[in-house]
Amino acid sequence: MSDLDAAIQRTREEVAKLHAELTRYGLVIWTGGNISGRVPGAELFVIKPSGVSYDELAADNMILCDLDGNVIAGTPGSERSPSSDTAAHAYVYRNMPHVGGVVHTHSTYATAWAARGEAIPCVITGMADEFGGEIPVGPFAIIGDDSIGRGIVATLDGHRSRAVLMQNHGVFTIGKDAKDAVKAAVMCEDVARTIHISRQLGDPLPIPQESIDALFDRYQNVYGQKPQGELQ
Q: Greatest CA span in the chain, whole angstroms?
A: 59
CB of 36 or CB of 111, closer to a copy of itself: 111
Residues that bind a copy of itself (CB under 8 A): 25, 29-34, 50-52, 81, 83-84, 106, 108-109, 111-118, 123-126, 140, 142-144, 167-170, 183, 186-187, 190, 193-205, 207, 211, 214-215, 218, 222-223, 226-227, 230-232
Who contacts 59 (Cβ-Cβ below 8 Å, separation ≥6)? 9, 12, 13, 16, 76
* DSSP code string of 98-125: T--EEEEE--HHHHHHHHHT-PBP--SH
Q: Least distance in Å: CB of 107 to a copy of itself?
A: 9
Q: Least distance in Å: CB of 112 to a copy of itself?
A: 4
CB of 70 or CB of 211, closer to a copy of itself: 211
* Residue 63 · residue 47 · CB < 8 Å: yes
CB of 1 or CB of 73, closer to a copy of itself: 73
* Residue 187 · residue 142 · CB < 8 Å: no
Q: Least distance in Å: CB of 94 to a copy of itself?
A: 23
Q: Least distance in Å: CB of 3 to a copy of itself?
A: 28
CB of 97 or CB of 144, closer to a copy of itself: 144
